[in-house]
Chain A
C-alpha cells in the first residue's frame, strides 16, 4: 500500500481525482445555495423570461425593435450592436495603428516624433475618459438646423445621418456580402496567383475579381430596390428635425472613435514591433537582388512583420472587443447594457449574466480561433534561429 502511494502515476491520478472532486463539490454547493436563496425571495429561475416582451426601448438597433419584442430578440440586437461597434472600432483602430506604427518606424524624424507623441498621449489616458471626451465633443456639435454637410451626410449633435439605399433587408445583406467580396476577392486571387503569373497579369485578374463583385452588388441593389422610392434615401431637414437616412447616434460615434484612437495607440506599438523584428539581413538580400523598395516592402518586409504581429494583434483585438462594454457609460445599447437593463427589469440576474458571459466567450473565442487558424497557416516552417 505504501509502495503504491510512492508510485508517481498513482499519485498523479489521486491528485487529479481529489482536484476534480473538490471542484464539483464547490459548484454543487454554490448552485444549491443560490437555489435556496432565490426560492426564499420568490424569484423563479429559468429561461422563460426570454419569451416575454421587454416593455422598454433601445436607442440604436440595426434590426427592427419595439417595446413589445421579447427578451431574446433584444439580446440578439445587443450582440449585433456589440459586433457592429466592435468591428467598426477594430477596423478604425487598425488603420490608425498602422499609420502611427509606420510613422514610428519611419526614417523621417518628424514622423517618428509625431508617432511617439500620439502613443504617449492616447495610451496613457483611461479609455473611459476618452469615451466621455468624444461624447462631449459630439454632443456639442451644431443642432440639426445648422448641421455640417458633406457627401450626402449630415453631422449634428443628434448624431451622424448617413444616406442608405432604399432596398429590402435581404438585398441589403446580399449587397454587403458582395461589397466584402470586392475587397477579399482581389486579395485572395493575388495570393493564389502569387509567383505563378507575371505581375501585370496578376493585377488584371485582381481588378477583374473586384469589378465582378461590384457589378454583382449593383445588380442586387437594382433588383432589390423598394418600389416607388428613390434608390438612395438621403437625410434631410424637415421642420426642426432630420428625416431619412440612417442615424448613427453620438453614443456609437464616441465609442467607435475612442476605441479607434485608444486601440490605435496600442496597435501602433504592435505594428512598430513587428517591423522592427524583421531582420536587416533579409532586406539587404532583397536589395542586393535588385528588388525595388516597394517590392521589398510588399514581398519581404510586410509578410515577415505580419507574422510577428498577428499573435499579439489577436490578443489586442479580443481586448478591444471587451472594451465595447464601455457602451453603458454613455448609454449605447450594446450587449452589456441590454443585459444590465434586463436584470433591472426582469430580476433574472444569474440567467442574464450567464447569457452575457456565454455571448462574449462565443465572440472572443471565435475571434481567437480565426486568428489561430491564420497563424498556423502562415507560420514559418522549420527552425528560425539560423538567421
Chain B
C-alpha cells in the first residue's frame, strides 16, 4: 500500500509533539501535542483564528512548523523533500474552497495526480476515478468542468480527487463552511460513509452534529493551544472547561 520507503507501518498515523508555528511574531500554534491512531476520526473545533487550520496544514507541509516534531505514518516531516513527497502521497486534503483545477474536467481532476504521482496507466486511473465519483454520488458529472457544478458537487469532486490517490489519512479543512445549507448534508453524508469504512480522518469543522455522530475524539483549540480533548459525549455534555463552555454556548446556542 505504501509507496516509497519514507513511511512505514506501525505506530500512530499522525503524531504532533510540542508543535510551534509563528507568522512573523504572531504565535499561531503553542506547544501542540496530539496523537491520532490509525482509523481514528478526530474533529477539531474552536473559534476562528485559534490555529485549527494551521495545525492540519502543517501535517502535509502546506505550512512549515517552527518548532516541535511531526511524524506521519512513522516518517518525520522535516526539510527532506523525499519525506514531504512521501507524506503528501499518503495524506489527502479537502479545502474550504474546493480548489479544483478549473481548466480540467471532473474526471481529469481525479486522474491527474494518480497518473503523474503514482504513475498509474490512464485506463486504470480512469476506472478508479469513475469508481470514486460513483462513491461521492456524482458519476454523471465526470465530463463537466468544475465551474459548471454547484458548490456541494464541487466539494464532493474534491473529496473524490483526494481519494483517487488512495491516501491513508484524510484532512478536511472546514469542508462545509463555504456551502449553502442544503448542500452541507450531501457533503457530510459522503464524509460519514468514508468514516464508516475506517479512514483515518482529521476534520476541522463547526458541524457539531457530525462530530457527535462520527468523531472518536473532539479536540477544542483556542489561541493556538489544544484546550481540551475528549470523546464527543463527554465533550458536549460534561465539559468543565470555561473556554469550551463559552464556545459551545455560542455554537449550539441558537
Contacts and interface: CB of A to CB of B under 8 A. Distances in A.
Contacts of A295: 116
A378 B103 CA distance: 8
Contact of B88 (A279, A290, A378): A290
Nearest to B154: A386
A290 B85 contact: yes
A117 to B, nearest CB: 27
Given A198-B119, A285-B100, A386 B112 contact: no
A14 B208 CA distance: 66
B147 interface: yes
B236 interface: no
A300 B95 contact: no
A287 B99 contact: no
A281 B108 CA distance: 18
Contact of A387 (B97, B149, B161): B97
A385 to B, nearest CB: 9
Contacts of B97: 281, 386-387
A353 B175 CA distance: 63
Contact of B115 (A195, A286, A288): A195
A291 B116 CA distance: 7
Given A279-B99, A289-B161, A291-B117, A384 B147 contact: yes
B68 interface: no
B103 A304 contact: yes
Contact of B92 (A195, A199, A288): A288
A303 B102 CA distance: 10
A44 interface: no
A289 B103 CA distance: 17
Contacts of A289: 88, 92, 112-113, 117, 161-162, 165
B55 to A, nearest CB: 15
Given A198-B115, A288-B62, A288-B88, A382 B122 contact: no
A286 B161 CA distance: 11
A197 interface: yes
A41 interface: no
A381 interface: yes
Contacts of A384: 102, 147
Q: How large is the interface on B (under 10, 10 to 19, 20 to 34, 35 or more residues)?
A: 35 or more
Interface in B126-179: 144-149, 151, 154, 158, 161-162, 165, 178
Interface in A329-387: 378, 380-384, 386-387
Contact of B98 (A198, A381, A386): A386
A196 B178 CA distance: 34
Interface in A272-313: 279, 281-282, 284-292, 295, 299-300, 303-304, 307
B119 A288 contact: no
A240 B102 CA distance: 63
B93 A381 contact: no
A195 B89 contact: no
B151 A386 contact: yes
A381 B119 contact: no
A387 B99 contact: yes
Contact of A284 (B92, B95, B111, B117): B95
Given A290-B85, A290-B165, A386-B154, A285 B111 contact: no
A380 B145 contact: yes
B60 interface: yes
Contacts of B93: 285, 288
Contacts of A287: 60-62, 88
A300 B101 CA distance: 7
Contacts of B113: 289-291
Contact of B148 (A197, A288, A382): A382
Given A289-B161, A291-B113, A386 B147 contact: yes
A119 B146 CA distance: 36
A291 to B, nearest CB: 6
B208 to A, nearest CB: 25
Interface in A4-33: none
Contacts of A291: 112-113, 116-117
Interface in B1-25: none
Contact of A304 (B89, B95, B102, B117): B102
Given A382-B146, A383-B147, A284 B88 contact: no
B103 A307 contact: yes
B219 interface: no
Nearest to A197: B122
A282 B112 CA distance: 13
B91 interface: yes
Given A287-B62, A299-B101, 19 more contacts: A195-B108, A196-B122, A197-B122, A198-B119, A279-B99, A282-B102, A285-B101, A286-B101, A288-B162, A289-B165, A290-B88, A295-B116, A299-B112, A380-B102, A380-B147, A381-B147, A386-B146, A386-B147, A387-B98
What 5 A-B pairs have minimum CB-CB distances, sorted nearest first?
A382-B147, A382-B148, A387-B97, A285-B99, A289-B113
19 contacts: A198-B121, A198-B122, A279-B99, A284-B62, A285-B95, A285-B100, A285-B101, A288-B92, A289-B113, A290-B113, A303-B103, A380-B103, A381-B147, A382-B102, A382-B145, A383-B148, A384-B147, A386-B98, A387-B99
